[in-house]
Amino acid sequence: MGRNVAIVGATGAVGVELLRVLEAREFPLDALRLLASPRSAGRRLRFRGEELPVELLGPRSFDGCSLAFFSAGAGVSRAWAPRAVEAGAVVVDNSSAFRYEPDVPLVVPEVNAEAVLGHRGIVANPNCTTILLLVVLAPLHARAGVRRCVVATYQAASGAGAQAVRELEDQSRALLAGEEPRPERFPRPLAFNLFPHVDSFLPEEGFATREEMKVVWEARKILGVPDLALVCTCVRVPVFRAHSEAVFLQFERPLSLEEARSALSQAPGVRVVDDPEAAEYPTPRLAEGGDEVLVGRLRVDPSCERGLCLFLAGDQVRKGAALNAVQIAELLA
Ligand code: NAP
């Protein structure tokens, strides 16, 4: 049986990708309602060969709706997700609004699919950087137990939304024309630059950024390891799409390189791309548009006992958001 589905934030970077993923996976639905702010109400978006109208999010938006994807930021989720649940819908929320609430499952289907069973109307989609990391980390953790994890990220402009992509385009053109780029959404010029500043700084967390702490808080919740030793530096880079991460792991138990490679080769949602001499390793361009998280540059970390280094890249709009949300909806069905 199909369902009536709503997408809040349908015109955004993640919303548009949700339409693509629902179409590609032939997700069973009877009707699809596209919702956004007054800026986009009245526009039309293509889905399964039809032009669907974008409606203004409002009090009647969830009438008759059984499933709602939220992808319009935490404020909109806080204000409207409970109303969607009241109207009888199950909400899959892409924002950070409910991720840390104990009765809200935080789910990466390849890692903790069973957690979805405990939902009480809302299931949270983790942060994109966390999803990509955990798809790779979980199979290694299952084999050898992660004792410590150090991550540095290389995050694409699209992680900050559709407008941020346009800002990188405009800045790149301006710089090439010899003009000074003007940052609007980003704190610094991003074109031909990078900066270690994604989301706000948290004085109470030693001036880690919220994005960096999201990875820590969420990895602990999803893996069920409340004291997992994890530290992260998040860096915005002038890439349009797909995040990359350099990951340094130390394990509790011995894990040879061959065992790590074998665990990753068999892991769902992972593709090993690791022939460095042929210049084959994960890159954002290779990851763009794909469902899998690419992992390579696997090597022993000689600086500690039972250490492993790796590099991963994944499309954060797709697996880091839209695809993960649709996979959650498939689990719910
Ligand atoms: P975006 O491109 O800026 O899109 C935001 C969407 O929300 C647009 O459709 C916008 O509609 C809508 N919206 C904004 N304010 C609204 C309001 N008051 N009422 C109704 N709709 C409203 O952002 P995004 O990158 O898609 O991100 C959406 C959510 O997903 C955020 O919570 C983000 O943290 C999360 N997320 C993003 C990524 C990523 O890689 N981009 C990855 C994981 C999670 P209008 O067109 O009308 O403005």
Neighbours of 246 (CB within 10 A): 16
Confidence of residue 317 (pLDDT cuts 50, 70, 90): very high
Whether residue 181 is found in the same domain as residue 168: yes
Report the percent of the chain where pLDDT is more than 70: 99
Collapsing DSSP to helix, strand or coil, 99 comes out as coil
Number of domains present in the structure of the chain: 2
Task: Using the predicted structure, report yes or no on whether residue 82 has a pLDDT greater than 80.
Answer: yes
Domain at 83, CATH number: 3.40.50.720
Please tell me the pTM assigned to this model: 0.97
Task: Note the pLDDT tens digit of each residue in 225-261.
Answer: 999 999 999 999 999 999 999 999 999 999 999 999 9
pLDDT-derived band at 308 (thresholds 50, 70, 90) equals very high
Spatial strand order of the sheet with 122-124 comes to 44-47, 50-56, 31-36, 4-8, 67-70, 90-93, 122-124
Q: Which residue owns the Cα nearest ligand 1 atom 12?
A: 9
Residue 271 CA to residue 163 CA, distance in Å, equals 30
CB distance 126 to ligand 1 below 6 Å: no
Which of the listed residues 11, 56, 71 should we mutate to test ligand 1's pocket, taking the one with most ligand atoms within 8 A of CB? 71
Choosing from 17, 52, 54, 94 the residue with most ligand 1 atoms within 8 A of its CB, the one to mutate for a pocket test is 94
CA distances (Å), origin 124, targets 86, 196, 309, 317:
17, 26, 29, 16
Residues 178 and 102 in one domain: no
pLDDT in tens, 96-143: 999 999 999 999 999 999 999 999 999 999 999 999 999 999 999 999
Query: Is the beta carbon of 242 within 6 A of some atom in ligand 1?
Result: no
What six digits make up the tokens of 292?
Answer: 């899998």
Instruction: Work out the mean pLDDT of the chain and round it to a whole number.
Output: 97
Other Cβ atoms within 10 Å of 207 Cβ, number? 9
- Best mutation site among 11, 14, 70, 129 for ligand 1 pocket (most ligand atoms within 8 Å of CB): 14
Q: What per-residue confidence (pLDDT) applies to 1? A: 41
- 191 and 46 in one domain? no
Whether 92 has a pLDDT exceeding 70, the answer reads: yes
Q: Is residue 246 domain-shared with residue 111, that is, in the same domain?
A: no
321 touches ligand 1 (CB under 6 Å): yes
What radius of gyration do the chain's Cα atoms show?
A: 20
Residues 153 and 61 in one domain: no
Which CATH number is 298's domain given?
A: 3.30.360.10
Q: What is the pLDDT of residue 274?
A: 98
Residue nearest to atom 34 of ligand 1 (CA): 95
**What is residue 2's predicted lDDT score, i.e. its pLDDT?**
47
| Shared domain check, 20 and 39 | yes
263-276 average pLDDT score: 98
Residue 258: which domain range?
A: 130-316
**Would the CB of 64 count as within 6 Å of ligand 1?**
no
CB atoms within 10 A of CB 298: 18
Model confidence at 182, pLDDT cuts 50, 70, 90, reads confident
Residues 224, 121, single domain; the answer is no
- pLDDT over 80 at 51, yes or no: yes
- Output the pLDDT for position 71: 98
Alpha-helical regions (H) of the chain: 13-24, 74-86, 109-112, 128-144, 162-176, 210-223, 257-266, 284-287, 323-332
C-alpha span between 140 and 267 (Å, rounded):
9
